[in-house]
Chains A and B, each alone.
Chain A
Amino acid sequence: MYNFDVERPSTVAEAVAAMGRDEAQPMSGGQTLIPTLKARLAAPSVLVSLGGIEEMKGVSMADGLLSVGGGTTHAAVAREAAAHYPALAGLAARIGDPAVRNRGTIGGSVANNDPSACYPAAVLGSGATVVTNQREIAADDYFLGMFETALDEGEIVTGVNFPVPQAAHYEKMIQPASRFPLVAVFVAKFSDGLRVAVTGASNNGVFRWTEAETALAADFSADALNGVKADASEMISDLHGTGAYRAHLVNVMTKRAVAAIG
């Protein structure tokens, strides 16, 4: 690590003020950021720790909308969202290991937008809204590509609002080393439509698989996806699988998610 200052705001307003300092960077669970700092791959002058901001923590349900504070840990979501949105809680419960789940936050994950992260699939798959200190951003407008989001410099994710679907399922095939998704698919079925979001697979980060959505809208069954192919040319090819393999897995994981919803 290089030297840096630490700010510990206790409100969003204080955090926003602290972010005004030169080369400031927010930190939530630090599960991604701390290793980056240790490897000397980032050199912020000021770390603004969001961990003490109570107003960014917790899960609440109102008018069919589940609001998750940006500072809520994966473990808290797994616990507190279980009664309201089991698919989301199940996703959170299977991120990383207990240490990661007790530190890492939804805000950090969504801000980071790792192409293999779990949460982006739920956010996009639910058609959720990302809430920041400045505005609300629809999921469809929020994820812009690998590690890229619609967030402005210094903008803080304070929460995510999830419309709760009638039924949903997250199906994940893990990459054997990192145990992040190799390919994972979030399928959510609403009274007025459905969404299929895919993570881990694409060079452009999380995406909606619209061909599958169309096929499933006509016939919500795994068989409806027979012959529906994801575009392999857009897929990540690496040590753990070719683009063709990932494209194949997109289909398999989607079918399994659909079958699980029934």
Chain B
Amino acid sequence: MPKDGGIGASSKRREDVRFLTGNGKYTDDINMRGQAYVHFLRSDVAHGTLTKVDTSAAAEMPGVVQIFTGADFVEIGGMPCGWQVTDKHGDPMHEPKHPVLAHGKVRHVGEPIAAVVAETLAQARDAAEAIEVDIAELPAVVNMKDAVKDGAPKVHDELPGNLCYDWGFVEENKGAVDEAFEKAAHVTTLELTNNRLVANPMEPRVAIGDFDRSDGEHTLYTTSQNPHVIRLLMGAFVLGIPEHKLRVVAPDVGGGFGTKIFHYQEEAFCTFAAKAVNRPVKWTSTRSEAFVSDAHGRDHVTKIELALDAENNFTALRTDTYANMGAYLSTFAPSVPTWLHGTLMAGNYKTPLIYVNVKAVFTNTVPVDAYRGAGRPEATYQLERLVDMAAHELGVDPIALRRQNFITEFPYATPVAVEYDTGDYVATMDKLEEMADLSGFEARRKASEAKGKLRGFGVNCYIEACGIAPSNLVGQLGARAGLYESATVRVNATGGLVVMTGSHSHGQGHETSFAQVVAEMIGIDESMIDIVHGDTSKVPMGMGTYGSRSIAVGGSAMVRATEKIIAKAKKIASHLLEASEGDIELKDGAFSVAGTDKSVAWGDVTLAAYVPHNYPLDDIEPGLEETAFYDPANFTYPSGAYACEVELDPDTGQVSIERFSAADDFGNIINPMIVTGQVHGGIAQGVGQALLENCAYDEEGQLLSASYMDYAMPRASDLPFYDVDHSCQTPCTHNPLGVKGCGEAGAIGSPPAVVNAVINAMRSGGHDVKHIDMPVSPARVWAAMNG
């Protein structure tokens, strides 16, 4: 019997009522009395020296309130980076200043040069056109391998070689890894690109700055996944505003996918300008601006090698990756190719020796940072393509080769610094084989061939690290923040609860699944619980939502706070029932004395807490409100196995996905429907990366795919009906809910399955294609088969 409430129930997403009826309240829906509008004048060249920015004529244009340029921000801090990576020589990464508005030089197309604040948006745009800008163009550097060559143009004058860091992991293992390669019976080598992507959340970014002269308080309304992080970074490092005078509100947010984690110049600008012009200042990104100002994702170029012994056991793995940082370091950019990527290179396999090298490179492109999966899709893609290739070279079954090398005993300490607590890779693979109907594949292949089509089957495994992250550990790894989460549970006199969480929901359904957890713990109806998030003036300091951390870390904080509530409520109940505290039991929303029929309802206890007549005041404080901060002991390690079946039209190169199966292990599950939805969305994004999405620059640093005319997003018609299962559950051992997180899995697990399937299809048509880079567009498939 499926439950109709609490943990494990597919409760309907309560937030959808407002989202689907047009009643969501997004940042752009907020309009302040007397607000002015900002238009940013952005660079249309990738690299150059700013020789003139003359605003005198523009300042006289109708409606102009004030125009700002880089000169106004020289004394103001640059955009801070939240993570410092130490390179293989023990030196800190290079961290060039990232100004709010460009000064001296422009370094990528889209970089803001000036900002016009005007009465209307049209007036702001008109005036921006009247700003005289001269840029002495410099040669741009776009390709990472060109960027690190001697004599390459310097993105930052003080930084020859354009290298942010050269990271070796684990540097001490390098010698042993190299030695294992020398002894190997077989070595498989693969060079590939993990394509650059534009996140494209449905809601573009918006920022509104407000300043109240009467109390000196700044407010920023912004499209953020983590308002407290923005408050800390902007307040402490950019504008120098103490946190008690700075409120950051991120109301309903229409999708983030990572790109709304980061602190952006437009946020700092609107906050700054609101005080400078003494009125609210609003900026709403256009879609065209989003393409050149939202942080991009992925963009790795990798050479990866696998050493195997004569029995096909993996003996060593070696990778060499160039990771594009873009022109400046975005907030968490340095951590993505290192601690979210290198630490994942063991995958599902017991490869004993691993060495990862990552060179992070500056180029004249938009900054690159975390995008759904962040580092883990890059790790999974290269490893799972490589294992497939090894199986092909050795003439063995790709599933059998994987099974042979699976980690089967847990906990398992990888050679890349992390310890997997639980998992059962055999179980998810067994489940997948059943779902994918492998035995029927040959018949389906023949049916496709009868229509003149090729059919291919691809499989892969994945492991990811989420529930980010133990503060102690990430501190050692260079994080400049802790990664705990907070929750305050406030019980009202009449028994209803408000839970204030530092997690932020931008479509994930937290308002539903978080309420289910608390309802289950107390034994009351979900409708008695409201979840509040996204406002630094309401919720305790929290770190926000990314890295599939909300239920594992935010949910755990909520459990801890609710445990405190229950403990206190039991005390109050024991007083009301005149029983000893140890005898009080909470069940179905009522407190009873063990072994008796004496009980009080939840509402009696909450009322007593706030109407403390005849109340043991020396023993218990009135009120019922508790806060907890939860810092995880480890990452969580969801895992799974994915399979994709494609049909390929050899005449056009067109690929269509015919079947897609996903067997995931997310540990315990709070709301199966929401989990299924997260996997669906994740696979859509993974398929988007694999088949469609391509953020491409030309050699001059102009973005070629700068609109939906050229940047292909996945649509429903590109996707099959997925077969998704999460019945394999090995609960997480170190958080109270036993949950692992599911937000990124689909995007991590799906690209290699798709590409492996396409290559399998091409081979079945007699084309010995070793590899094809994503997106696997019809043109590329055709070229690979004909060329």
Contact = CB atoms under 8 A, between A and B. Distances in A.
Contact of B710 (A39, A177, A242, A248): A177
Given A1-B122, A173-B778, A177-B705, A252 B710 contact: no
Please tell me the size bucket of the interface on B: 20 to 34
Contact of B777 (A1, A178, A240): A240
Contact of B778 (A39, A177, A238, A241): A241
B654 A239 contact: no
Nearest to B125: A40
B711 interface: yes
Interface in A216-262: 238-242, 245, 248-249, 252
A64 to B, nearest CB: 35
Contacts of A252: 651-652
A178 B708 contact: yes
A4 to B, nearest CB: 12
A249 B710 contact: no
A239 B695 CA distance: 10
Contacts of A39: 288
B782 interface: yes
Contacts of B125: 40
B202 interface: no
Given A1-B122, A40-B125, A252-B652, A240 B709 contact: no
Contact of A177 (B129, B653, B709, B779): B709
A39 B129 CA distance: 13
B712 A176 contact: yes
Given A239-B696, A242-B779, A177 B288 contact: no
A225 B125 CA distance: 54
Of B125, B651, B783, most buried by chain A (CB within 10 Å of CB) is: B651
A29 B782 CA distance: 37
Contacts of B288: 39
Given A173-B778, A176-B777, A249-B652, A239 B705 contact: yes
Contacts of B692: 176-177
Nearest to B698: A239
A5 B606 CA distance: 66
B712 A248 contact: no
A252 B691 CA distance: 21
Interface residues of A, number: 17
A173 B653 CA distance: 11
B782 to A, nearest CB: 6
B704 interface: yes
Contacts of B691: 176
A252 B650 CA distance: 11
Given A39-B288, A40-B125, A173-B778, A239 B694 contact: yes
Given A178-B708, A239-B696, A239-B704, A173 B777 contact: no
Given A173-B652, A173-B778, A252-B651, A239 B710 contact: yes
Interface in A137-170: none
Interface string B749-786: 00000000000000000000000000001110011001
A177 B712 CA distance: 4
Contacts of A242: 779, 783
A1 B129 CA distance: 12
A120 to B, nearest CB: 18
A238 B709 CA distance: 12
A146 to B, nearest CB: 15
A69 B122 CA distance: 36
B709 A178 contact: yes
Contacts of B705: 177, 239
Contacts of A182: 778
Contacts of B783: 242, 245
A245 B691 CA distance: 17
B782 A248 contact: yes
Contacts of B122: 1
A173 B779 CA distance: 11
Contacts of B696: 239
A238 B779 CA distance: 10
A173 B778 CA distance: 10
A240 B711 contact: no
A174 B651 CA distance: 14
Given A39-B288, A252-B652, A245 B710 contact: no
A175 to B, nearest CB: 8
B710 A241 contact: no
A178 B777 CA distance: 14
Interface string B707-719: 0111111000000
B745 to A, nearest CB: 25
A232 to B, nearest CB: 13
Interface in B705-755: 705, 708-713
Nearest to B717: A179
A241 B780 CA distance: 8
Nearest to B651: A252
A151 to B, nearest CB: 24
A245 B708 contact: no
Contacts of A239: 694, 696, 704-705, 710
Contacts of B129: 40
Most B CB contacts (10 A, CB to CB) among A1, A39, A40, A178 go to A178
Interface in B101-159: 122, 125, 129
Given A239-B694, A239-B704, A245 B712 contact: no
A245 to B, nearest CB: 5
A245 B129 CA distance: 40
B652 A177 contact: no
B54 to A, nearest CB: 21
B652 A178 contact: no
Contact of A241 (B694, B704, B713, B779): B779
Contacts of B778: 173, 176, 182, 241
A21 to B, nearest CB: 23
Contacts of A40: 125, 129
Determine which residue in A39, A176, A182 has the highest number of CB atoms from chain B within 10 A of its CB, and name it: A176
A239 B711 CA distance: 10
Contacts of A245: 653, 779, 782-783
Given A1-B122, A39-B288, A252-B651, A177 B782 contact: no
A248 B650 CA distance: 12
Nearest to B779: A241
Nearest to A177: B712
Nearest to B288: A39
Given A178-B709, A242-B779, 5 more contacts: A1-B122, A176-B691, A177-B708, A239-B705, A241-B777
Interface of A: 1, 39-40, 173, 176-178, 182, 238-242, 245, 248-249, 252
27 contacts: A40-B125, A40-B129, A173-B778, A176-B777, A176-B778, A177-B692, A177-B708, A177-B709, A177-B710, A177-B711, A178-B708, A178-B710, A182-B778, A238-B704, A239-B696, A239-B705, A239-B710, A240-B710, A240-B779, A241-B777, A241-B778, A242-B779, A245-B653, A245-B779, A245-B782, A249-B652, A252-B652
Q: Which 5 residue pairs spanning A and B have beta carbons closest together? A: A177-B712, A241-B779, A176-B712, A178-B709, A252-B651
